[in-house]
Amino acid sequence: MKYGHFDDSAKEYVITDPRTPNPWINYLGNEDFFSLISNTCGGYSFYKDAKLLRLTRYRYNNVPADSNGRYYFIKDGETVWNPGWQPTQTELDFYECHHGLGYSRFHSKKNEVEADLTAFVPLHETCEINRLRLKNTGSEPKQLTLYSYVEFCFWNAVDDSTNFQRNLSLGEVEVKDSVIYHKTEYRERRNHFAYYCVNRPIDGFDTDRDAFLGAYGTIQNPKAVRENISGQTMASGGAVIGSHRIVLNLAPGEEQSLIFILGYAENPEEEKWEALNVINKKPALQTIQKFADEKTVDQALADLNDYWNQLLSRYTITCSDEKLARMVNIWNQYQCMVTFNMSRSASYFESGTGRGMGFRDSCQDLLGFVHLIPERARGRILDIAATQMEDGSAYHQYQPLTKRGNMDIGSGFNDDPLWLIAATAAYIRETGDLSILDEEVDFDNNPTKKDSLLEHLKRSFNYTLTHLGPHSLPLIGRADWNDCLNLNCFSKEPGESFQTTGPSEGPVAESVFIAGMFVKYGAEYAHLQELLGNRLEVKRARKAVEEMTEAILKDGWDGEWFLRAYDASGEKVGSSENEEGKIFIEPQGFCVLAGVGVENGYAQKALDSVHRHLETKYGIMLQQPAYQTYHLNLGEISSYPPGYKENAGIFCHNNPWVSIAETVIGRGNQAFEIYRKTCPAYIEDISEIHRTEPYVYSQMIAGADAPKHGEAKNSWLTGTAAWTFVNVSPYILGIRPDYSGLLIDPCLPDSLDGFTARRIWRGCEFEIEVRRADRSNGEQAGTFVDGAKIDGSLVEPDGKQKLHVLKLL
């Protein structure tokens, strides 16, 4: 069942039924100010940090109620309705939500009144603009009363939702002209405030939530709207809202436009006040005046569209498969950019109140956006590296506002250090910028302890080598990529954190997955050292990679597939010897994509075992059989019901590893089938089963053991976005950056005869055509650059600004 459709020409997903299985959201903002907006106008806004600088409230644990957002109540006689259907849920005569790149548009109709609401965050601004157009499409005059509504958060979203003994005595506002200023806590340690305005005189306002809703009132039927009044209330010591009341008289055929701005502003400490307890409104008024008219708003929206069009034009394809093209050209890259901005911090599944930026997460995310914004990727790498410890280990998370390590989750996730090598190598492959390796970077954000980024990478490499277990495989620490495989936790107490309980140092639990990572990224580290001419370090690194490969083949192979791990007692995990959890997806994918077992046939055996034991119609499960009881030696993975999350769920993040592995052994059909099964555009028709947005990836889909097999959760902010782009672009389509050129090495399914692509790489525009050779006309496989055949598949620009590449398969 579908709830809408793709509009590829407009780069939009158009939702035509507001009753989607879950709220289907979009992200507004690209730099410092961000908003989440659902298909019914729910969501919240924040400046830089979703926890510490939250502008508006949102209530979780109520999906799909999706309560709180930016709401506009249209009162037409006795009928009250909203352009986005929520919160009144009045049946509309027409409804569409257009989620586009950085904006959302709501087009609806009721009783011969047409509403058109466009929400977006302008480039380089710290505000969200909502332009609402109302048109009388009937033959009689209309008098409408419009009520706007947002509910402000008292900045720290955790404190705001828990510390009621303080917060119910805290709220403060100012109102001047058509602007409502939220100045809670401004009188003390804050020098920032929020504001909400409209570009015309108003007929009333409210800032006191309780007065607006009425005693025991609800947002679905507020007293002020029901009784068609405004109380001119000034919130004092309670919940603060922003609501404007505007009376509109529309002649037949007349349209009126209103521009609402929700913004963030701050002042220097010495310029906080105009007068005693009167805030300095200058920074807010500058923005308000800038966007006071239609022309400026139109231009800001056009600039936003130009930004996205130019950004995505760096990589585009044309092919016979429209679903593949729309994901590569639009939605996969768009999701990579959103995930770059948000990491795992703020979605409808991540509240923005707990997690910061993941060390591992942000490194992996970079793989999907480095070709779009290499200069920002460079900064992100240096930010991440500055949180690394002197011994090469890492905080598992850091806070986006402070860029400092966050010990709430701690450290000791022993895969983390290697991901820094992965991110840096991807950046240098894309840009050729070796100078980043010379950048002086703090350890643990301590300026007195700093060294070159190259030294950081060396310590990442050495951390694995100095943390090997009895089988010469890497120690797992708290966990590896699978945060829920906690082999050193042994927790018996409910509520304990699996990620911080138990020692990270000392036990001998080992990870075959980290071993595969070391083979892959240890080789990258060696290559970087080779580019710098450090021959002794190259020799040392390559010897260590060879020894790790041998260790995997000796003690990491179970006969038909790669083991997952050894626990703290030296017992096998992910082995045919186990009753549950016999085979895991991670080492099969990562060891093979690293090249382990390709020459001796282990790679094909492992992937055949994946298809035999783990594959379902909705994707590849994380392990099988599912754990039916809690296992003290395994931790959180066995705490979930069978089929959900890490206990035999379909983790979309690691399905690409297996797909990439299939390309390594040349099986294009299998690689594309894995890609297709979790790709949103291909499963749009089963949205009633899948439930999350059909235009972006989710983290997890319920596995075969789950009653709701095929149901997805945790959409948008997942490493799936980056890894699926790596899978489809460098491997299936085969357009892969290398250190000295662009490698054109596709591994296509039989269903795809070929494609054309435009790829910007190091200032050179590559026009790439891939097709199957017409051997009946004497064509032979090969790579041709500007008509001339070259040896191999590596195309070097040699200073040219444009190249045409023909790849015959």
Catalytic residues: 483
Max distance between CA atoms of the chain, in angstroms, equals 87
Return the axis-axis angle of helices 453-465 and 512-531, rounded to nearest 10°: 140
270 three-state secondary structure? helix
Distance in angstroms (rounded) separating the CA atoms of residues 296 and 310:
21
Alpha helix stretches (DSSP H) within 393-534: 416-431, 453-465, 512-531
Looking at the DSSP bridge assignments, the partners of residue 247 are 145
**Cβ neighbours of residue 119 under 8 Å, at least 6 residues apart?**
28, 35, 37, 41, 70, 103, 104, 105, 106, 128, 129, 130
Q: How many CB atoms lie within 10 A of CB 167?
A: 21
The DSSP letter of residue 456 is H
- Helices 655-664 and 585-593, packing angle to 10 deg: 40
747 close to 731: Cβ distance less than 8 angstroms: yes
C-alpha 315/C-alpha 311 separation (Å) is 8
Torsion angle of alpha carbons 563, 565, 570, 571, nearest 10°? -60
Cβ-in-10-Å burial (0-12, 13-18, 19+) of 448 comes to: exposed
Reference 35, options 19, 58, 63, 15; nearest CA is 58
CA pair distance 737, 425, nearest whole angstrom: 10
> Tokens 């389509």 map to which residue?
733
Phi, psi angle pair for 30, to nearest 5°: -130, -15
What is the bridge-based pairing of β-strands 278-279 and 113-120? unpaired
**DSSP element (H, E) containing 555:** helix 535-555
The encoded tokens of residue 432 equal: 């050729």
Query: Mapping DSSP to helix (H, G, I), strand (E, B) and coil, where does residue 696 land?
Result: coil
Q: Is the dihedral of CA 677, 781, 779, 770 positive or negative?
A: positive
Tokens of 574: 């992910």
